[in-house]
């Protein structure tokens, strides 16, 4: 049996609130996640979605060109679209007009991406 000191040293650090690990701890403990953990978890999910290639490339291209509204896209593709337009240096007003979303929705998606540290989509994955 390990000594008490070894057990203390080998114990995993407690996941702190305001992180995705904190969110997972709340879930594992069978309790609702606090708002800070929910925000961190949403940011991680937004980051993952934005890094993936579009789920529906043709619809995505149409929305990127302003021919289709962003609401025709999946949640993941909409997040990617906003990330790509933010990377162009566009502000919320311009993105909202281009994608035919409300400024509220556009800002909400943009803020989630910023919180996740996503400022540019992964351009290498994009098919020309
Ligand atoms: Zn928490």
Residue range 38-58: average pLDDT? 83
The 3-state DSSP class for residue 111 equals helix
**Alpha carbon distances (Å) from 2 to 6, 7, 10, 12, 13:** 6, 6, 10, 15, 18
Residue range 70-79: average pLDDT? 92
Is pLDDT at 44 greater than 70 in this prediction? yes
9 alpha carbon – ligand 1 mean position (Å): 24
The 3-state DSSP class for residue 102 equals coil
pLDDT bucket at 127, cuts 50 / 70 / 90 = very low
Is pLDDT at 11 greater than 60 in this prediction? no
73 alpha carbon – ligand 1 mean position (Å): 31
For 13-37, what is each residue's pLDDT tens digit?
678 999 999 999 999 999 999 999 9
pLDDT bucket at 114, cuts 50 / 70 / 90 = confident
pLDDT bucket at 119, cuts 50 / 70 / 90 = low
For 81-102, what is each residue's pLDDT tens digit?
998 898 888 999 999 999 999 9
Residue with the bigger pLDDT between 114 and 57: it is: 57
79 and 46 in contact (C-beta within 8 Å)? Answer: yes
32 alpha carbon – ligand 1 mean position (Å): 9
Residue range 2-11: average pLDDT? 57
Predicted TM-score (pTM) of this structure:
0.58
19 and 40 in contact (C-beta within 8 Å)? Answer: yes
113 alpha carbon – ligand 1 mean position (Å): 20
**Alpha carbon distances (Å) from 14 to 19, 33, 37:** 11, 15, 14
């Amino acid at each position: 049996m390990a000594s008490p000191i070894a057990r203390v040293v080998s114990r995993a650090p407690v996941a702190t609130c305001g992180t995705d690990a904190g969110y997972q701890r709340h879930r594992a403990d069978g309790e609702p996640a606090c708002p800070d953990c929910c925000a961190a978890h949403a940011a991680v999910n937004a980051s993952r979605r934005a890094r993936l290639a579009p789920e529906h490339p043709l619809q995505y291209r149409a929305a990127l060109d302003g021919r289709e509204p962003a609401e025709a896209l999946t949640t993941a593709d909409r997040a990617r679209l906003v990330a790509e337009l933010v990377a162009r240096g566009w502000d919320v007003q311009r993105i909202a007009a281009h994608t035919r979303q409300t400024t509220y929705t556009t800002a909400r998606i943009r803020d989630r991406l910023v919180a996740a540290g996503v400022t540019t989509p992964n351009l290498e994955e994009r098919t020309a």
